[in-house]
């Protein structure tokens, strides 16, 4: 069965430091991969996505993610975080056959001043 | 485009009352999804529609929940009767018929049943 694992429930990072949020998936074919961000009291906003081509994808707000097929991973990165990046981040996987996405449990990012 | 619009943003109701949540998807988005989010269970897909037709409602928790999509620009999620354990944030999301596009979410309805 398809699954998505975000191993870190919480991550604390100092403002200005680099960030990497992990996402591992279990899926047979090449999946469609997404990262979403949810600020407190808001809906989920699409940060970036991968479905083919260059395995390093750029998104909004200065985020990027790299698809590594050999590791079944799609980790999210940002070189320098800002206090406004404090939010919850969700990784999701789809296969394109039924438009349903499988969601990770989310990683809450806390920014230290 | 105004995005996916949900109403109300907040709803407080007494146990046993009927609750109706509303969603207007983005024009041209053929797929509409209803999700529930709680601390304990995270994001749960309740039901989704394609071209106004329910495709998968296996996530609807019980018969107290029902969803309709009478036309391409409007959907409702109804809970009757409501119970305290229904308290959650309910999200609507829509997508065009391109599986690599991703979903656009509304801002959600925070439901509190007392």
Q: How confident is the prediction along chain B (114 residues), in pLDDT tens digits per residue?
A: 689 999 999 999 999 999 999 999 999 999 999 999 999 999 999 999 999 999 999 999 889 999 999 999 999 999 999 999 999 999 999 999 888 889 999 999 999 999
Beta bridge pairs of residue A14 = A112
> Per-residue pLDDT for A23 more than 90?
yes
| For residue A46, pLDDT beyond 90 | yes
Residues in chain B whose beta carbon is closer than 8 A to a beta carbon of chain A? 4, 31, 42-43, 45, 48, 50, 55-56, 91, 93, 95, 99-100, 102-108
Report the pLDDT value the prediction gives residue A95, as an integer from 0 to 100. Answer: 80
Task: Kindly determine whether residue A94 and residue B99, on different chains, have CB atoms separated by under 8 Å.
Answer: yes
Contacts of B48 in chain A (CB under 8 A): 99-100
Would you say residue A28 has pLDDT above 90? Answer: no
pLDDT bucket at A31, cuts 50 / 70 / 90: confident
Contacts with A46 from chain B: Cβ below 8 Å: 102-104
Q: DSSP per residue over A50-105, as a string?
A: ESSS-SEEE-GGG-EEEEEGGGTEEEEEESS--GGG-EEEEEEEE-SSS--EEE--
pLDDT of residue A41: 87
Dist. CA A99–CA B29, nearest whole Å = 12
pLDDT value of position B84: 97
Among chain A residues, CA nearest to B99: A96
Kindly tell me if the per-residue pLDDT of A1 is higher than 90. Answer: no
CA distance A45 to B60: 24
Closest in A42, A94, A105 to B107, CB measured: A42
Q: In the prediction, which pLDDT does B109 show?
A: 98
**B113 CB-near residues (< 8 Å, 6+ apart):** B12, B13, B14, B15, B17, B19, B82, B83, B84, B85, B86, B87
Give per-residue pLDDT as tens, A67-110: 999 999 999 999 999 999 999 999 999 887 778 899 999 999 99
Per-residue confidence (pLDDT) for residue B112, from 0 to 100? 98
């Amino acid at each position: 069965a398809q699954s998505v694992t975000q191993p870190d429930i919480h991550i604390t990072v100092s403002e200005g430091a680099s960030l990497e949020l992990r996402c591992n998936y279990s899926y047979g074919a090449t999946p469609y991969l997404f990262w979403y961000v949810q600020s407190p009291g808001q809906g989920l906003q699409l940060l970036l996505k991968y479905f083919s081509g260059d395995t390093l994808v750029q998104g909004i707000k200065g985020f990027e993610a790299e698809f590594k097929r050999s590791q079944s991973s799609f980790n999210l990165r940002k070189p320098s975080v800002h206090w406004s990046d404090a939010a919850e981040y969700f990784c999701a996987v789809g296969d394109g056959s039924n438009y349903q996405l499988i969601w990770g449990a989310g990683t809450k990012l806390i920014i230290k001043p | 485009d105004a995005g996916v619009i949900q109403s109300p943003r907040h709803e407080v109701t007494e146990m046993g009352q009927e609750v109706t949540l509303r969603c207007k998807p983005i024009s041209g988005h053929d797929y509409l999804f209803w999700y529930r989010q709680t601390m304990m269970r995270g994001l749960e897909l309740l039901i989704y529609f394609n071209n106004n037709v329910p495709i998968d409602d296996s996530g609807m928790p019980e018969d107290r929940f029902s969803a309709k999509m009478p036309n391409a620009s409007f959907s409702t999620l109804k809970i009757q009767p409501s119970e305290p354990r229904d308290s959650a944030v309910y999200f609507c999301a829509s997508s065009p018929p391109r599986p690599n596009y991703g979903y656009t979410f509304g801002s959600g309805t925070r439901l509190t049943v007392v």
